[in-house]
Structure 1
């Protein structure tokens, strides 16, 4: 899956810009690479005049390269400080959509397992991998099942995710811990081999069949912040690649029980 530096602008003012990032576009250059397109590079080209007039870009909602959806970017230090205070006070509201393996028993539940880097407590071939562990940092995510779908006899669910904290890979880790890893995830719900293959010789036939999608099926769908006394809300629809996957099956609305908040 080749990355292209194409993204949509949803909203903009003199102080910030909100864009819709596709997968697998990286937000920043990774591992010192300068030969691949990035969201930052695209924004620098788009906002060249602003930058020439003294603007300083700060990407505030960073997404993994394979996660699509909403990204908030401050254009100056004052806006960056304003939004950073909201993040610190946990007043920024974020929602994600995730396509997961299996049918959750509950329509709504909360995962609160603490998270740390897996390599701190066990051997891990993937340095980035996180895991739930009692010695980890406090972490909380609420999940709501949007619908369940059967495709060729296999069960999948579309789950809306409400992260209450901002740990690395939080949603992916908590869904794996719940027994419902995200479709296409190369790190979680697998032994990590697909991830190592991707950064090495390329995905094997077995990994392609296992993953089912070229990227993990996670989308940042809603973002809400306060600006000048107003609550601003932006929404991004499910991208075509994930919508096509769902459309191949028969959607069944939630039928499980609720675990409350």
Structure 2
């Protein structure tokens, strides 16, 4: 691969060609070059030793979180420029070329501003906070979610703390959970706390247990799912599982244990060895048991059960009760970054998920009569 040195890399994850890792942003394409004024959103300068290379191939080498099809679409819309002029996908990049992404709207101000949003704080001290996040709350600003996030809420909560800057990457979120997943996560209030907590996640010494309602009646009471996780080659809003020796994606391991069976769905506990994007959702679909009501992974369809109208009505009502993937980050454990104390936290299931399980329990009793 030719060496390419980017002169400027746009760190704002709101761009057309850059998808959020947790896929919490808008899914709609916003390429539009009809405006008279264009704004630079991304810039890269070809190295002096750059060999002639199509601009779409050139950009796919530096814009790692996008696809060649999306780059080609941007070029077709006149949004890819070389040295100030719009070019098509077959333009050949030369040494010293300045390649830019131009859109008809200014760059979004990604500054994190405090917002008065309620937080369910499970624990807090001078070094960290443990928060029980409700479903529907995005954790970090991104494409389509520029405010109203958990990070904005934390900034408000700590607005009088002179040592906490919400725009300083050395503090803040240590890990993420999906927008429509409820449950526990930890926020670091100091650089030292974030460094030490991140190291624990990296070395897999944290303790995380999730509860999920999945489609189907699992054959085994417990098991281990292992497979690399990467973006789906045909649907970049999904993650997919690939063989360990495929060279595609990052290794991921999920352990599961059956907690309760409802005939057509099963409540499982999932323990993560790794923390990949959508790991539980992708692994359970790979196993043939997508999460109940998980629209992105096909769990919003009736995948198990009868074809009766009464059952269909029951499922519709169940999904209306919990209209999101039935997944909750129930426990979180780690070593305190300052004191060294082992700390473990547990949260009750979110109300919508608890009501969903109760509904299935009533249905199961009716089946057994």
Class of the TM-score when normalised by the shorter of the 2 chains: 0.7 to 0.9
Q: Equivalent residue of 1:184, what SS?
A: coil
Task: Report the Cα distance in structure 2 between the residues aligned to 1:92 and 1:247, rounded to whole angstroms.
Answer: 31
Q: Is the 8 A contact 1:225 1:233 kept in 2?
A: yes
Q: Tell whether 2:153 aligns with 1:39.
A: no
- 1:111-260 matched pairs, under 5 angstroms: 111-119=225-233, 123-124=234-235, 127-134=236-243, 135=246, 136=248, 137-150=250-263, 155-189=264-298, 209=316, 212=319, 213-227=322-336, 228-250=339-361
Task: Report the Cα distance in structure 2 between the residues aligned to 1:191 and 1:72, rounded to whole angstroms.
Answer: 30
Task: Report the Cα distance in structure 2 between the residues aligned to 1:217 and 1:190, rounded to whole angstroms.
Answer: 10
Match of 1:81 in 2: 195
Match of 2:204 in 1: 90
Q: Equivalent residue of 2:154, what SS?
A: helix
Q: Equivalent residue of 1:248, what SS?
A: helix
Q: Is the 8 A contact 1:5 1:25 kept in 2?
A: no
Q: Equivalent residue of 1:249, what SS?
A: helix
Task: Report the Cα distance in structure 2 between the residues aligned to 1:76 and 1:188, rounded to whole angstroms.
Answer: 37
Q: Is the 8 A contact 2:184 2:347 kept in 1?
A: yes
With over 3 angstroms needed to count, the CA separation of the structure-2 counterparts of 1:191 and 1:133, relative to structure 1, is farther
Q: Equivalent residue of 2:204, what SS?
A: coil
With over 3 angstroms needed to count, the CA separation of the structure-2 counterparts of 1:179 and 1:140, relative to structure 1, is same
| Highest RCO, 1 vs 2 (Cα 8 Å, sep ≥ 6) | 1
Deviation at 1:89, TM superposition (A): 1.2
1:138-171 CA-partner distances (Å, limit 9, x unpaired) = 2111000110125xxxx11111000111111111
With over 3 angstroms needed to count, the CA separation of the structure-2 counterparts of 1:53 and 1:112, relative to structure 1, is closer
User: Which one has the bigger strand percentage?
Assistant: 1
Q: Which moved further from structure 2: 208-217 or 168-177? A: 208-217
Q: Equivalent residue of 2:160, what SS?
A: helix
Task: Report the Cα distance in structure 2 between the residues aligned to 1:116 and 1:249, rounded to whole angstroms.
Answer: 33
Structure 2 portions without partners, runs of 5+ = 1-115, 302-314, 365-369
Match of 2:136 in 1: 24
With over 3 angstroms needed to count, the CA separation of the structure-2 counterparts of 1:5 and 1:215, relative to structure 1, is farther
With over 3 angstroms needed to count, the CA separation of the structure-2 counterparts of 1:132 and 1:53, relative to structure 1, is closer
Deviation at 1:92, TM superposition (A): 0.8
Deviation at 1:210, TM superposition (A): 10
1:83-116 CA-partner distances (Å, limit 9, x unpaired) = 1111121111111110111111111000012221
Aligned length: 224
Q: Equivalent residue of 2:262, what SS?
A: strand
Give the TM-score normalised by the residue count of structure 1.
0.79
Q: Which moved further from structure 2: 40-49 or 54-63? A: 54-63
Structure 1 portions without partners, runs of 5+ = 193-207, 253-261
Q: Equivalent residue of 2:357, what SS?
A: helix
